[in-house]
Each structure stands twice: as structure tokens, then as C-alpha cells.
Homo-oligomer: A and B are copies of this chain.
Amino acid sequence: MSKRIVVIGSGAAGMSAASAARKASKDAEITVITEDEDIAYSPCAIPWGIEGRTGWDDIVMHDPEFYRQSRGIEVVIRTRVESVDGEKREVVAGGRTYPYDSLVVAAGGTVFVPPIEGKDLGNVFVVRTVRDGKNIQKALEGAENVVIGGAGVIGLELAVALRDMGKKVTVIEMMDQVIPRIADRDMADMVQMELESRGIEFVMKAPIQAVKGDGKVEAVTANGKDYPCDVMIFATGVRANLDIPKMLGLDIGQLNAVIASPTMNAYRRGRLVPDVFVAGDLVQCESAVMPGATMSQLGSTAVRQGIVAGTNAAGGKRVFGPVASPWVSMIGDLQIAGTGLSLGLASWYGIDVVCGKAEGLTRARYYPGGKPLTVKVLADRSTHRIVGAQIVAGEEATGRINWLTSAIVDGRTAESFLADSENAYCPPTSMVRDVVLAAVEDLCLKLSQ
């Protein structure tokens, strides 16, 4: 009998798992169950969809019909999972029972909305699904004042999109810098200045106290002051969605997410569960930088985990390594990227870091069109291991951060990186000595002092 594989969730993790399962097994019966109506899209695309820079139909990569026809995968949309029985190996959803041999739980995360007065008023949104995006787009018609709760990368990308649409945009952030936790203040400040120059207003160190209005939002209160508001969007971070894992009694870790083996199997009371796999935003990862757990709620991580979970669910063999979690965001004309530990994350681990930094250009100094490029690299003071890096640049940040990620995962010290690292060079695409090397040079100097 062919293997029955059920995947819960249709985001990057779930659909990657389903497709990988098909690659690993020609005859498995593969069913994806999802509450969503659109499948196989990246939530990261939503700010650009709202702005109209990309069409909603383009963001959604494929529809259920495509999966049925070309991959032999059934996708059951708009369907909530009511219960899962790990003993009987059954999922009940939309009144139907789906027996499974392997189950992939990729139910994602939910946007955390602080429990404040007025959060359920009309025109108050989160950004997670294409449906959210479309609703926001509609609400924005005729709206003048928009408040964004949270200055993380999604909040800032949204802020730029809405500002470009001509809205008056106010970003309210609890911490004292934008992109808190994963970016250091010096790098984050460059981004905040860019956004302020576009007329975006920031209210910092200000937890949102209330959302006010009569049916619909009219103002948002922070720091004791009311900010006029026609549309309010919470971009306040994602929490693992633990509904299904709890039904299955899966082990939950320190970071309030599901613990996974390198094969993406879940655990129950300390034992590996061979027929249950997990992937995506509800998973707690192992850090490639420091011993211990870390969260990696990124689309790229979800895809990689989905492939491993799906392959193994279908009987293949694949392993998922520890993560440094490189990220990048395009905020206005600036790209900001990071990997491994920031100063904030380092202090969470209790380790003492030394920073090196360099500024330069993305092209040879004399070649037209070069953009400013700032690279910061962090090393553990005791071992000299590179533990993190951040980049702010007008272009070409992504490849550089992947390059530094590779050094972190490989356990390179600053000194060995400097001795062994080479950069490709031609005047239109880099400086002869890349700014990454210059930053590590500075780091080595600081480490030797």
C-alpha cells in the first residue's frame, strides 16, 4: 500500500514538505490541509502586495489545481483541523477523517497582538495572510493616518509601502531602536534616519496602551498621547502556533516552540516520534553559533525545513543543520541584513563580543553608481570565533551576508577568515578589497588590543 502523508499548513514549510515528499516518493498519497484560502505564498511579499508593486495573483505561486494536476498533491483549503490523534494516526478536519502514515505539522505562527483595549476594533489588522493584505488594501482607500505597531522589518517595509502610497505613517515601537533584538543600534539607526527622511514618524520606547474608536479605530495611545489613526496594523512579531503540537502532546522547548530532531521529527516526553515531522515557524532550532536553542522564523528556513521534513516523511533521508538565520530586508533604498548574533542576542547568551566595522562602497570608488556599504562583524572575545554580522547597503547585501553566515557556521575565527577569505573583484561590482574583509581586518585589530 502506498504511504499516506498528511501535511498541516500550506505556507512555505508545508508546501515545500509536500513537494519534497512527492520527489522522494512517486506513489505516496499526499494531502495538505490548510485554513488559508491562498496557498504557497510568502508572507514577506505582503507589504509589496499592499503597495501594488506586485499583484496578489503573482504572489500566490500556485493554486490547489496546479498541485493536483502536476504534482498529484491534494490541497484542502479553508479547512480547520479539529483534532489529531497520534495513536490512531488520524487527522479530523472539516468533518472528514484523514488517516496518515506520516504527518507533517507546518501550521506556522500567529501574529502576537498585545492584549490591549480596542485591539478588535474595525480597521485594526495584522499582516500574515494574503487575505490580511487585501483587507488592509481596501481599508486604506480614503485613509489618511496609518499607525504601525512594531518597528521590526515587516513593520518598516510596510511603513515605506504606505508612505509611498501617500499615507501619513506613524510607527510605534516599545524598544528604543528599530529592528530591535536582531540589529544593533548603530546599524538600525541608519535605517531609521532613512525612513525619517521620507517623512515617516517614529514613537520610540512606547508600548501601545490602547486602540480607541467607535466601531472603527480613530486613535492609538502610546506614551500617554493619542495618535490619530484610520488604519492600525500590528507587526509585533510571530509566535509559534502550538494548537496542533499540543493535541499531539509534542515536546515544547524553552522558547515556546516545538523541539525537532535533525531529521525534523518531533519528540514526545523525550522520545523521538517517528511518524510526526514539524517544519516552519512553530519549530525551535539549534543555533549554529552557540550551544542551545534559537528561533529562526524565516521563509528561507521554513523552505529548508519543509524539504527535510517532507523528504523524510516519504521515507527519504535528509538532515537539517543548526542555524545562523541570515536575514535581509529592503527598507526604502536601503538593504539591511544580519546573521548570527547581534549585540542583543549575544548578551542573551551571556557572551562578551568584540565588534569590527568598515565603511566603503558596493563598487570601485571611481565606478559610477556605487552605493554606501557598511559591514559590522562580531566575534566572541574568548575564542575569536565570528559569531555575527550585519550589513547596511544600497545594494548587494544578500550575497555578502550569506558569505559571512558560511564563516559563522564553519566556526571560523576572525583571524582565519582574514587569512583565508578571498573576494571576487571587478570595478562595477565591488571594491578590490571587499568591505567585508576590511571589517574583519578591523575586528582582528580590536581583538589584538
Q: Which A residues fall within an 8 A CB radius of B?
A: 12, 42, 44-45, 48, 53-55, 58-59, 61, 153, 157, 288, 298-301, 303-304, 318-330, 335, 337, 339, 364-368, 395-403, 405-407, 409-410, 412, 419-430, 432-434, 436-437
* Residues in B neighbouring A288, C-beta threshold 8 A: 420
Bound complex: CA of A364 vs CA of B46, how far in Å?
12
User: From A402, which residue of chain B is reached at the shortest CB distance?
Assistant: B403
* Residues in B neighbouring A428, C-beta threshold 8 A: 48, 330
Bound complex: CA of A430 vs CA of B58, how far in Å?
16
Bound complex: CA of A49 vs CA of B339, how far in Å?
37
Knowing A402-B400, A407-B406, say if A325 contacts B426 (CB, 8 Å).
no
Bound complex: CA of A426 vs CA of B401, how far in Å?
13
A23 to B: closest C-beta gap in Å: 9
Asked if B424 and A300 make an inter-chain contact with CB atoms under 8 angstroms apart, the answer reads yes
Asked if A366 and B300 make an inter-chain contact with CB atoms under 8 angstroms apart, the answer reads no
* Residues in B neighbouring A318, C-beta threshold 8 A: 419
* Residue in B321, B420, B427 whose CB lies within 8 Å of A409: B420
Asked if B300 and A422 make an inter-chain contact with CB atoms under 8 angstroms apart, the answer reads yes
* Residues in B neighbouring A327, C-beta threshold 8 A: 424-426
Query: Which 8 A-B pairs give the minimum distances between C-beta atoms?
Result: A399-B399, A58-B366, A326-B424, A321-B420, A328-B424, A330-B428, A403-B403, A300-B425
Knowing A330-B426, A419-B320, A426-B330, say if A55 contacts B366 (CB, 8 Å).
yes
Asked if A367 and B48 make an inter-chain contact with CB atoms under 8 angstroms apart, the answer reads yes
A44 to B: closest C-beta gap in Å: 6
* Residues in B neighbouring A419, C-beta threshold 8 A: 318-321
Knowing A45-B366, A366-B45, A403-B403, say if A432 contacts B55 (CB, 8 Å).
no
Knowing A58-B366, A366-B54, say if A299 contacts B400 (CB, 8 Å).
no
Q: Supply 18 A–B pairs (Cβ within 8 Å), ascending by A.
A: A44-B426, A44-B427, A45-B367, A48-B428, A54-B367, A54-B427, A298-B425, A300-B432, A303-B433, A318-B419, A321-B419, A330-B429, A395-B395, A400-B402, A402-B403, A402-B424, A403-B406, A409-B421
